Amino acid sequence: MIEKEEQPKKKSRREFLQQLGIVGVGTALGGSAILAGINYDKNKTDAQRIRVLTAENELLEIEKGDATKIIPSKHGNLTYLQQQGRDGIAGKRFVMVIDLSKCQNARKCMAACQHAHDLRPEQHHMNVLKMEETETTPPFYMPKPCQHCDNPPCVAVCPVDATFKRADGIVLIDNERCIGCRFCIAACPYSARIFNWAEPLNAQGDKDKVYNVELNVPQKKGTISKCLFSADQVREGKLPYCASACPNGVYYFGDENEDAVTNGTTKETFRFKKLLEDNGGYTLMPELGTKPRVYYLPPKGKTVPFQDKDREEAAEHLHHT
Amino acid sequence: MLEQSKKDKVTSDLLASIRLTNSFKAWMAFLSISLIVCLGAYVYQLNEGLVVTGLGDYVSWGMYISTFVFFVATSLIGMLISAVLGLSGQKWAAPLARIAEIIALAFAAVAGLVIITDMGRPDRLLNVFIHGRIQSPIVWDITVVTIYVLISTLFLYIPLIPDLKICSEKINKLHPMAQKAYKLLSLNWNGSHEQEQILKKLTRSIAIFIIPVAFAIHTVTSWLFANTLRVGWDSTIFGPYFITGAFVSGTSAIVIAMYFFRKNYKLEEYLSLDLFDKVGKLLVLVSLVYLYFNINEYLVPAYKMKKYDALHITALFTGAHALMFWSVQFFGLVLPIILLVFNKMRKPLPLLIIASFVFIGGWFKRYIIVVPTMEHPFLPIQNVPLNFKVYTPTLTESLVTLAPFILVLLIITVLSKVIPVISIHETIESLEEKNN
Ligand code: SF4
Ligand code: SF4
């Protein structure tokens, strides 16, 4: 650390923090505040002072010497973005709630997601399924992202730690490490994973981009992709792409620790537990023991009916072929 | 004491195969050209990505993984013949030990390559060693397959030492380089009592050690499937189910090899009719055991018809995969069992035909285990092109799948041309024993 401070001022503070991993703020904040984000100010010339964002969302400027490393990063020789992507956001436990009673199959979520992650039209991180669970129960639309399982089979089987679970609950992929064995596809019971069978859609345009684990862009041929809970957006304090794009208020996203989730359409914030309690929230196939972090509210009291043209496809899964 | 003339006859008979014939050259040329064509297909796949296969986001494992499982399975024959039968005092199987080891080594070594053809990023293979995570069954599989290949090499080599000595001395018109190589590899074997003892002990130890390793490779291979939550794979009997299936494929492979060695290398006296008869009976035994596991594996879920199991089972029994499923069960298992009960069917030619059915059926059986499950995930497959829902292998993929088979044939052919396929040393020894 000392050594770093003596380096020429050209070294940005961001890089300085890269070395640090997650930085806690020592004396200035009584040692209790945890860094939730780092605001990078390009024009700042005084290398002795840095700005840090506290968990209470206050932007402070402190002496660099006062910053104490509280959790050393375990990932020595990865790039800054890979390292940050593995560390996650301290103190958070992200959850998503999907209200099936509001989904009208508008598919704006799918489009926004594909656009953000440079996916081909047949590649879905988010897939709105037409569901019919038994012959007598009514069909409904069900957006299905990765469930960010707390006991993720995909992570267990990955031979190289290319897919991993962060402390903040998000399951990500490092496509610079993935060997393309597709064991994780076989292991995921929610069919949440996709593979880059060919050269990715925007391979040319993304060529010079630095790989961002939290966005999984550039996508790479021969590697895995899947829903990332928009970890890049979340890091900036924004809602996931799908949630923000939905016109019908289907998505809520937030932090289980804070017990708060925000609706992507109305931007209203609710108590997470209460929302589940009031609406009979559940998870998909809990019997598998995967412990999803995506919760569903049942398709009760829908205002827009299931469309007739989708009925046949919804029922397909019931028939034995 | 055995007369010298008899010993000489055995030696020259068994060494006869070690020479370059025109038919051998032609066969090698044929294999090499085919292999090059298949490798061309693989290079194409490397350039374009796995998009050249019929795989998709749902059926993401297909022929390559089926072939991998099949190869690991077949390689278990080395353990069955040399270790299990050998240790339990089944002397009749002794002449088959070397053939079994050659098959085992070839299939196990090539299995490792098959897995690479399935990888999206073969260039990152080393990541498995750099970043390997102990909780992944793939890492277990790579570990045990590597150990098995090493032990199989030893299991082939150690008992071969006296024969290498014989090769270096008795083969006529041997190239001096080749003679040197044989001599070097025979590690100063002189046939002393002491050396004999060491050889016996070592062979026995390897025979014992290879049993758990062989069980491990195929059990772990079965866990690649059984350790997932998927319908059709989520089964507790997958380990023994795979092992027993392996014995069936392996036994059929050894029958095929026996037939061609016997015919091409004029080994009628050594690979006797009696031996075929016995191996035929062995095939019935292992097939019956496998049939038993099949009944358990399919009838139990079929009785209950749980929601998702039902999708899978109906696809196998009456749906899209029914033809393949029933053909495999009938022509690859039930019919061979029935036919092989008759003496006449255990003669070399009929046995060869039956074993070929069993062998080919064995490959399709692996396909039936791998593919249909992937077509039946828990959640519906929607908003994707039709070729993601139904797996249809492509030509490129078929050629790449063919490559390991050709490679195995190449390895077996070459090995059978440089070493005697039946142990001279042991044949003479057993003749001596009989004489005394
Ligand atoms: S839904 Fe699938 S991909 Fe997502 S964490 Fe669970 S097992 Fe992994
Ligand atoms: S495909 Fe990639 S992410 Fe998935 S298990 Fe294999 S190495 Fe891990």
Cβ–Cβ below 8 Å for A317 and B311:
yes
Q: Is there a contact between B340 and B400 (Cβ–Cβ < 8 Å)?
A: no
The partner residue sitting opposite A181, judged by closest CB among B56, B119, B314, is B119
- State whether A153 and B228 contact (CB < 8 Å): yes
Asked which of A46, A77, A108 is the last residue of a domain, the reply is A77
A24 closest CA partner among A44, A54, A1, A46:
A54
Output the residue whose Cα is nearest ligand 1's atom 6.
A149
For B177-207, write each residue's pLDDT tens digit.
999 999 999 999 998 999 999 999 999 999 9
ipTM of the complex: 0.92
User: What's residue A35's pLDDT?
Assistant: 36
Q: What proportion of chain B, given as a percentage, has pLDDT over 90?
A: 87
Identify the pLDDT of residue A21: 42
In the structure, what pLDDT confidence band is assigned to residue A14 with cuts at 50, 70 and 90? Answer: very low
Confidence of residue A59 (pLDDT cuts 50, 70, 90): confident
Kind and range of the H or E element at A193? strand A193-195
CA of A190 to the centre of ligand 1 (A): 7
What are A295's strand-pairing partners? A97
Task: Look up tokens 């059978």; give the residue.
Answer: B416
Domain assignment present for A217: yes
Q: What integer is the mean pLDDT of A4-31?
A: 42
Please name the residue of chain A whose CA is at the shortest distance from the CA of residue B124. Answer: A179
Split into its structural domains, chain B has a count of 1
Closest Cα of chain A to B142: distance in Å?
Answer: 10
Strand, coil or helix: B412:
helix
Closest residue on chain B to A182 (Cα): B60
What pLDDT is attached to residue A20?
A: 45
Mean pLDDT computed over B146-156: 95
CATH code of the domain in which A182 resides: 3.30.70.20
Q: Is A221 inside a domain boundary? A: yes
Scanning B292-331 for CB atoms below 8 A from A yields: 310-311, 314-315, 318-320
pLDDT of residue A64: 66
**pLDDT recorded at residue A19:** 46
Residue A7 has pLDDT above 50, yes or no: no
Which residues of chain B from 82 to 111 reach within 8 Å of chain A, CB to CB?
none
Q: Are A67 and A91 members of one domain? A: no
> In total, how many domains does chain A have?
2
Please compute the mean of the pLDDT values over residues A75-96 and round it to a whole number: 84
pLDDT value at residue A267: 96
Please give the residue range of the domain that contains residue A290: 87-316
Segment B55-111, tens digit of pLDDT: 999 999 999 999 999 999 999 998 999 888 888 888 899 899 999 999 999 999 999
**Between these two residues, A7 and A177, which has the higher pLDDT value?**
A177
Percentage of chain A exceeding pLDDT 90: 65
Binding pocket residue ranges, ligand 1, CB within 6 Å:
A 146-149, 152-154, 171, 188, 190, 192-193, 226, 290
Letter string b/e over residues A119-139, b meaning 16 or more CB atoms within 10 A of that residue's CB: beeebbbbbbbbbbeeeeeeb
Cβ–Cβ gap B124/A178 under 8 Å: yes
Q: What is the pTM of this model?
A: 0.88
Residue A11 pLDDT > 50: no
Cα A148 to averaged position of ligand 1 atoms, centre (Å): 5
Residues A19-45, mean pLDDT to the nearest whole number: 39
In a domain, A26, yes or no: yes
d(CA B296, CA A118): 46
Q: Which chain B positions have a beta carbon within 8 Å of A185's beta carbon?
A: 57, 60
CATH number of the structural domain spanning residue B181 = 1.20.1630.10
What integer pLDDT is reported at residue B171 of this predicted model? Answer: 86
Q: A91 and A69 share a domain?
A: no
A207 and A148 share a domain? yes
pLDDT in tens, A244-287: 999 999 999 999 999 999 999 999 999 999 999 999 999 999 99
Whether the Cβ atoms of residue B257 and residue B412 lie closer than 8 Å to each other = yes
Residue A82 lies in a domain: no
The predicted structure's pLDDT at residue A72: 52
Tens of pLDDT, residue by residue over A111-140, are: 999 999 999 999 999 999 999 999 999 999
CA A110 to chain B, closest CA, distance in angstroms equals 11
- Judge: B49–A221 Cβ closer than 8 Å, yes or no: yes
Whether the per-residue pLDDT at B251 is higher than 50: the answer is yes
Angle between helices B4-15 and B424-435 (to 10 degrees): 150
The partner residue sitting opposite A160, judged by closest CB among B127, B319, B320, is: B127
pLDDT value at position A57?
Answer: 66
Q: Does B261 touch chain A if contact means CB atoms closer than 8 Å?
A: no
The rounded distance, in Å, linking the Cα atoms of B167 and B183 is: 8
Supply the pLDDT for residue A75: 58
Instruction: With beta carbons under 8 A apart, name residues in chain A contacting B56.
Output: 197
User: Do both A268 and A207 map to the same domain?
Assistant: yes
Calculate how close chain A gets to B122, using CA atoms only, in Å: 7
Q: Are residues A147 and A276 both part of a single domain?
A: yes
Domain coverage including residue B424: 4-435
Range 143-172 of B in CB contact (< 8 A) with A: none
**How far A209 CA lies from chain B's nearest CA (Å)?**
20
Question: Is the same domain home to A239 and A127?
Answer: yes
Question: Which of the ligands is closest to the CA of residue A179?
Answer: 2
Residue of A nearest to B383 (CA): A122
